[in-house]
Structure 1
């Protein structure tokens, strides 16, 4: 068995579904079901004995210890995180609590469990920490992409909290010998993505006839990684990654936010034309930039390619078309997650 934390969120739920589609090894799934955690993502696993779900917080050390002792997982994969920059600007405390304090409590519970394993089980055990390229800060337009040895220079409360969690994971390896692996990924997109992030927000707004908000001039650059490719990378790192190492995971698809949204509009124009015959591009609206907005992120994923043989299977265009098609085919899921508190948040963030 493996234990995933945050396995009802966007990346976590995609990983759980992907894992169980490819093997029969059970998953113990711990998630506190905050605004971004959604059991509907895992509805297809209802009644499947390979999936054991527990609602709870990684900061609840007693709960984590009980789960580890009862289920005896061979690996822990930490997807649990507060992850939205805008929310971290408005309310950084939750990010400090989950990403830093929660990671500390999780590491301590896992260390105690790992220390008590038999020698063979102890040697085989892994703790895989899923992190972000945002810990490296912002790149100039002509600078080379971030590597695993790039200096940490986080610029938002979110990225600072994730940088701190990365440092804790590293320290628990070097101080206590905990067998850790860390991945730092670029911007993910794909199915089950909570629609406050750029791509699902714009799909949702486009179909509702609402503006497609772009911060500033829309020329912030990001590397885009299809979530299915990310899941494959995590599986490979868990299988063969070198202990204590960091692996950058990128999609090799660097685009401006404006390019992302115009491409998305073109796909929607083809798959779900507007009744008036006009392009969805006419709904693009530039809004005031957010404070401290990083201009460019890009990661060099050469290390994971050289050492582990992983490369993304999707181009940006093929992955985005799959993503748009998924949202068109799942209107009930979108309606369920975009009610109530979500609408209040979007109104607060983009209402002006």
Structure 2
């Protein structure tokens, strides 16, 4: 994302988009242009005024499924429009699929009609489906057996892109933590940080054994930029951390951000089965593109906690953002 590039970012007001905008603001970058597609740019900028007036950043209003095509010439599209909503998955999976699949079709139509030479699709580790107990980490060659509308939609979007004739790189994204992670929806890390910020006991609904890993938002931005610039067309890359942490340990680390630490309660009981895991193998991205995790989990949690504490944490700003 440098030089005279002009890049369209869909989902530019979600977690990924806000992380990209925050990096641009922090780096004081003025070269190149970012056009952010959002259903409600005005509302977004009212909620996040720090992103108003950034040099080289403009906003376009529209739904990813039917947005008007901008007239400018673009060097790339970063397609990150994704409904991160467990409620939508449960109540209206057809709408979940439509946003992902029909949105991708519209983006591909735009790329073909405007001859955009490069597309980065942010997919998800959900395309793999449940990870087998004997599988330590899932590589890009792991079979895809998605069981959710979200995962199925993402896999369909991948196939649409790979069959489209548009030069596409695919980022299969796992779990992340950072300043703009919503704290009030279904993300465990966000929920635990919320409870710590509010000085409440942290309650784990399950048995605390599932294994996850979290890449910091700053690293996520570096990985996405590198994939957009240098990823091999038609290639899939896992994006995430390989460093596993149990949900119980994650809660303890979040609790320790307060002095004295918040209390942690595990409400569930082990069922005798192997602990579920959701962990990527990122050897391909590390080997081919020189990518690495540079911020460890403790530092990532601390930075996220301090961001909210120093910026007037407020629950009304912690619901999922519309993108």
- TM band (smaller chain): 0.7 to 0.9
TM-superposed deviation, 1:205: 2.7
Aligned to 1:229, which of 211, 219, 222?
219
Where do 1:268-279 residues align within 5 Å? Answer: 268-269=258-259, 273=260, 279=261
TM-score, with normalisation over the residues of structure 2? 0.86
Structure number having the greater helix percentage: 1
**Counterpart secondary structure, 1:280:** coil
Which residue, out of 235, 238, 262, partners 1:280?
A: 262
Contact 2:201–2:263, Cα closer than 8 Å, also in 1: no
- Aligned twin of 1:9: 14
Quickly say closer, same or farther: Cα 1:321–1:338, change in 2 above 3 A: closer
Indicate which of 296, 299, 306 corresponds to 1:325: 306
d(CA) in 1 for partners of 2:154 and 2:60?
24
Q: Secondary structure at the match of 2:53?
A: coil
CA deviation profile, 1:189-214 (whole Å, cap 9, x unmatched): 11111121222222223333545343
C-alpha displacement at 1:126, in angstroms? Answer: 0.8
TM-aligned CA deviation for residue 49 of structure 1: 3.9
Residues 87 and 209 of structure 1: is their aligned pair in 2 closer, same or farther, counting only changes over 3 Å?
farther
For 2:44 and 2:251, the matched residues in 1 are separated by 26
In 2, Cα distance between equivalents of 1:243 and 1:76: 13
The answer to whether the aligner puts 1:89 opposite 2:90 as a matched pair is yes
Residue correspondence of structure 1 range 49-60 to structure 2 within 5 A: 49-60=55-66
Listed as ranges, the matches of 1:63-212 within 5 Å are 63=68, 65=69, 67=70, 70-114=71-115, 125-172=117-164, 177-195=165-183, 196=185, 197-210=187-200, 212=202
Over the aligned positions, Cα root-mean-square deviation in angstroms equals: 2.6
Cα distance in 2 for residues equivalent to 1:319 and 1:40: 27
Q: CA deviation at 1:249?
A: 1.4
Superposed CA deviations along residues 83-110 of structure 1, whole A, max 9, x for unmatched, are 2345412332331121111111221222
**Cα distance, 1:5 vs. partner?**
0.6
Answer whether contact 1:224 1:250 (CA < 8 A) is retained.
yes
The match for 2:317 among 327, 333, 337 is 337
Give the corresponding residue for 1:32: 39
**For this pair of structures, how many residues does the alignment match?**
307
Distance 1:296 1:41, change over 3 A: farther
Residue 127 and residue 138 in structure 1: after superposition, are their counterparts in 2 closer, same or farther (change >3 A)? Answer: same
Aligned to 1:117: none
Given that 1:221 and 1:257 are in contact with CA atoms closer than 8 Å, whether structure 2 keeps it comes out as yes
Of residues 254, 273, 282 in structure 2, which corresponds to 1:264?
Answer: 254
After superposition, the C-alpha distances for 1:61-116 in whole angstroms (9 at most, x for unaligned) are: 5x1x2x1xx221111001101123454123323311211111112212222211xx
Distance 1:165 1:50 in 2: 29
C-alpha separation between the residues in 2 aligned to 1:72 and 1:21? 26
User: What is the CA–CA distance in structure 1 between the aligned matches of 2:177 and 2:45, rounded to whole Å?
Assistant: 19
Map of 1:44 onto structure 2: 50
Quick one: which of 199, 207, 224 aligns to 1:217? 207
Please tell me whether the aligned partners of residues 119 and 167 of structure 2 are also in contact (alpha carbons under 8 angstroms). yes
Whether the aligned pair in 1 keeps the contact of 2:208 and 2:266 (CA below 8 Å) is no
